[in-house]
Amino acid sequence: MAELPELARTLITRELHAQGLFAHMGCEILEVEAGRVTLAMDFRKEVAQQHGFFHGGSVGFLIDNATAAAAGTTLREGQSLLTAEYKVNFVAPALGARLLCRAEVVKAGSTITVVEARCFVVKDGAEKLCAIGLASMAVIAARTLAS
């Protein structure tokens, strides 16, 4: 894909930081490129389930956010997005010091944009795939959101 204009990166970064849940989960932005966003969060008990793993809801949060942001990088003037749905398949326990989610646009459509995501848990410096996500967003007129 083409390079992402700096303005788009700034807007997407600002949108993410404007989410109360973003700070509450300790979420960080690692990368915002054309069609691709990487988010991360450190392990703390506040984002864990009862066995000391990252909670499935924490994994889902990263996927929801990273896929929407990745879709956001493909918007044109006057367009906005609504997340229609997302799916998470867990493939390994999310046990580690850090959780990464790499989202990549599969198809930026005029009606629907589809994004896939892979979540990795970082343990002793090594990344291990722990979940895979698939999400779709409805592309709508920007004013629709404002109305």
Nearest to its own copies of 30, 91 (CB atom): 91
Residue 94 has phi, psi (to 5 degrees) of: -85, 70
CB of 86 to its own copies, least distance (A): 6
Binding site for its own copies (CB under 8 A): 15-16, 18-21, 23-25, 44-51, 55-58, 60-62, 64-65, 68, 82-92, 106-107, 109, 111-112, 114, 116, 129, 132, 134, 136, 138, 140, 144-145
**Directed axis angle between helix 56-72 and helix 6-17, to 10°?**
150
Q: CA 106 to CA 86: how far, in whole Å? A: 14
Nearest to its own copies of 73, 136 (CB atom): 136
Element (H, E) at 20: helix 20-24
CB of 19 to its own copies, least distance (A): 5
CB of 93 to its own copies, least distance (A): 8
CB of 139 to its own copies, least distance (A): 9
Q: Which residue pairs, CB below 8 angstroms and at least 24 apart, start in 127-130?
A: 127/100, 128/92, 128/96, 129/91, 129/92, 130/54, 130/59, 130/90, 130/91, 130/92, 130/93, 130/94, 130/99
CB of 35 to its own copies, least distance (A): 14
